[in-house]
Amino acid sequence: MSNTLEKVTQILVEKIGIAPTEATLDANFIKDLGIDSLDYAEIVMEFEQTFDIRIPDSDAEKLQTVGQAVKYIEEQTK
Residues with catalytic roles: 36
Quick one: angle between helices 3-16 and 66-76, nearest 10? Answer: 130
Burial class (CB in 10 A: 0-12, 13-18, 19+), 43: buried
Q: Which residues contact 11 (CB under 8 A, 6 or more apart)?
A: 43, 46, 47, 50
